[in-house]
Structure 1
Amino acid sequence: MVTIATKSMFTDTRQPNFLYGKGLLTTHSDDQHNGRLYATCEHYVNTIPAFPIFESTDMGQSWRHVSNVTDQVNGWGMRYQPFLYELPEKIGSLPAGILLCAGNSIPQDMSATKIDLYTSLDHAKSWQYLSTVVQGGTASVKGQKPVWEPFLTVIDHRLVCFFSDERDKKTHSQKLAHKTSRDGLQWGAEIDDVALDNPDARPGMATVSKMANGNYIMTFEMVVEGAVVINGERNRSNFKISKNGLDWRPGDSGTEFANGGSPYVTVLSDGRVVANSTGNELYVNDKNGDGKWTTVQTPMAGAYSRSLTPLGNSQVLIISAGPYAGPTAKADHELTSLVFNVPTG
């Protein structure tokens, strides 16, 4: 494992320091910049928060802080749930290879949530506001209809943002949905992806990847308020499959593959599906989501929403910023990375 960031790197860091680590490998840029790794996370500070961006040019052996994604439109700060993405193709006027960062802009009093989208045309040296995907209510008080946890991908030549939505409280404690855009500026209607009949169900933290057979797999956590704790866990990690990545049968709660929450899924170059949950394990499936999932231990401790980025040659980049911690928790998290070879057989 390699340490990307510690609290000593920044003068204003406060506990829990870092959370919600996310990574990226560039593969659609020019020859000079392809193969670079990037990482980001929530950064807890006493002033206005931003998402720090780190770069590695030696496949994760070392990292350096190169920029920050700052709030350029609200004056609130970029506070929660960053996500990094590289466009694989041209979308509107956005060229293939442009870097995107989506995240939740939230004021200090937690009175609003906005999933804003930023772009970088200079390989993460600087960032510019592009658009707002969706806006919700108060971030800190349950029942106040916030939006959370963006995940970006391109499907059918459209930029798609999946997110968690608490704005339909009478029917759904929380649901998963997505919006699409042809240009990254204008966003279409919200489409439900996991919206269950049980009003106490809280599906959250969707991640999506295209499998070798052309179908798409989504992982998400399933929390039911008041549920019985089993083996120390109330949350479950579920998955479900879509033929086109945009139609997910919202009433389908999916299939459990792990205890714990905040799962993440990706697909390796050899077609194997790899997912995780809150533990140190990876879960591997070689049949496009059908049948058995094999459990693989990693040397990196479990964490809240560890991201998985395929690197080729059965390797995956894991970015961690430690286990879940509330915004005032007395935790000293570091941002770390691991390049892990997923064993075959």
Structure 2
Amino acid sequence: MVLTAGAVVMLVATLLSAPAPERRVLYDGGSFYPRVIRLEHSGPANGTILAAITTNFGSQGAGVISASTDGGETFQQIAAIEDPAAANGAGICCSFLYELPSPIGAMPAGTVLWAVTVGYQAPEGQRQTRQRLWASSDVGRNWRHVSDIAVSPNQYNTWEPSLAVAADGTLVAFYSDETDKANHDQKLVQVRSADGITWTDYRHTVVNTDWYVRPGMINAIRLPDGSYFMTYEVCNNDLVHLCSAYFRRSADGWDFGDPYDLGTVIRTADGKYGRHTPTVAWSAGPGSAGTVLVITEMLVEDDGSISPGNGKTILANDHVGAGPWYEIPAPIPVEGVNNEGCRNFSPYLLPTPDGKAVLEVTTDYDGPVCKTYYATGPLTPARR
């Protein structure tokens, strides 16, 4: 059956307006930047889902770790990571949760890592923002500080760490770097470590000759074929599609190509763009050979206007990024999203192993409080 353009539009609208799964509170307090993983290298604990958020206990910044043993139906808090570098209102932000697929130094496969930005709210004369690495050897219940991935050399901030193990077995950390203010407002950079303690080989990942262009919010995953897929936003280069989501690929997880090439924008056949805070996941479906899923804070039309699917859409591609992307309704529709620090800010996806459904974690206001929610919904694409 061949659908007309009008029929496709109506079908997409129907799917996006279908009743969403009931969202549940993951953390009943002020929280943001949620992340979620399924353990795959932890022996008897395999299949356990871990979720992380950042919050504040008074003036103490902390990460809260929760676990689910029933496939994401329910979560229970199992740990709180109170980083001393985030005490006294110094600030905590932008954490990342990761399970080692292979040993790194003394850390065996199955070690759970938590990377986090701290110190960005310290007074300017005292500020040295840090990207901190923590590790758990008991599936998220107890944690120890391993190293500082990066320490700002001046008062300008670094942000948003993410982790991946490259093909050569080294642990790679990516982050946003504002410390080179003479040349760039912000750039994406990377370092690597053979043991999780010593970090070397600082290099640009995405950068632009225009000082105002700000790439940020970087995430990279390893695909089943061993290659790597990276997403990030690029701000201030397109004033119609502000902070659009881009991607690039790598064969080895370290070399992602010319850092001055901004990459490929993520766009649907009818011209929709994902904007702000992209994150990426690989799913066994709905594509017959697997599907790359990207979720962003916002969705806009080709002219930059707010799309009907804004705050409630996953963008999907069955060809490892080649060609146009298509829309899938997100499990948690968030209304009124418009580039702020809470509503649908940096949502995250965890597909089920069979690729038929996806767990989403994201944030939304409950009155004046920004809370983290979770829900699982089907990976049902709009027909194209």
TM-score (ref. length: structure 2): 0.78
1:112 pairs, out of 110, 128, 135, with: 128
**Hey, what does 1:343 align to over in structure 2?**
380
Give 1:137 deviation, angstroms.
6.1
- Does the residue aligned with 1:90 lie in a helix, a strand or coil? coil
**Residues 54, 65 of structure 1: 8 Å contact kept:** yes
- Does the residue aligned with 1:333 lie in a helix, a strand or coil? strand
2:368 is aligned with 1:331: yes
**Hey, what does 2:345 align to over in structure 1?**
304
**Hey, what does 1:121 align to over in structure 2?**
137
| CA distance, structure 2, for counterparts of residue 297 and residue 75 of structure 1 | 39
Give 1:2 deviation, angstroms.
2.3
| CA distance, structure 2, for counterparts of residue 311 and residue 179 of structure 1 | 31
- Does the residue aligned with 2:201 lie in a helix, a strand or coil? coil
**Residues 6, 333 of structure 1: 8 Å contact kept:** no
**Hey, what does 1:141 align to over in structure 2?**
none
**Hey, what does 2:291 align to over in structure 1?**
272
| CA distance, structure 2, for counterparts of residue 322 and residue 175 of structure 1 | 28
2:62 is aligned with 1:53: no
Query: Aligned letter for 2:92?
Result: R
Query: Aligned letter for 1:308?
Result: L
Query: Aligned letter for 2:78?
Result: V
2:360 is aligned with 1:318: yes
Give 1:213 deviation, angstroms.
4.2
**Residues 113, 135 of structure 1: 8 Å contact kept:** yes
2:108 is aligned with 1:71: no
Query: Aligned letter for 1:129?
Result: H
**Residues 211, 288 of structure 1: 8 Å contact kept:** no
Change (3 A) 1:331 1:223: farther
Give 1:214 deviation, angstroms.
3.5
Give 1:165 deviation, angstroms.
0.6
Give 1:82 deviation, angstroms.
1.1
Change (3 A) 1:122 1:163: same
| CA distance, structure 2, for counterparts of residue 213 and residue 27 of structure 1 | 17
| CA distance, structure 2, for counterparts of residue 39 and residue 103 of structure 1 | 14
Deviations 1:47-89 (A, max 9, x none): 2111111111111111111111121467566711111111111
Deviations 1:6-60 (A, max 9, x none): 12xxxxxxxxx111111111110012x1111111112134321111111111111
**Residues 293, 316 of structure 2: 8 Å contact kept:** yes
**Hey, what does 1:158 align to over in structure 2?**
170
1:41 pairs, out of 40, 53, 65, with: 53
Unaligned runs of 5+ residues in structure 2 are 1-22, 267-272, 298-310, 335-343
Residues 257-268 of structure 1 correspond to what in structure 2 (within 5 A)?
257=266, 258-268=273-283
Further displaced range: 36-45 or 208-217: 208-217
Percent of residue pairs identical: 28
Query: Aligned letter for 1:80?
Result: C
- Does the residue aligned with 1:312 lie in a helix, a strand or coil? coil
**Residues 168, 174 of structure 1: 8 Å contact kept:** yes
**Residues 91, 122 of structure 2: 8 Å contact kept:** no
**Residues 165, 253 of structure 2: 8 Å contact kept:** no
Unaligned runs of 5+ residues in structure 1 are 8-16, 139-143, 324-329
Q: How many aligned positions are there?
A: 320
2:147 is aligned with 1:131: yes
**Residues 104, 114 of structure 1: 8 Å contact kept:** yes
1:221 pairs, out of 233, 238, 249, with: 233
2:201 pairs, out of 189, 203, 206, with: 189
Further displaced range: 300-309 or 190-199: 300-309
2:220 is aligned with 1:179: no
**Hey, what does 2:223 align to over in structure 1?**
211
- Does the residue aligned with 1:190 lie in a helix, a strand or coil? strand
| CA distance, structure 1, for counterparts of residue 184 and residue 116 of structure 2 | 23
Query: Aligned letter for 2:191?
Result: K
| Alpha-carbon RMSD | 2.1
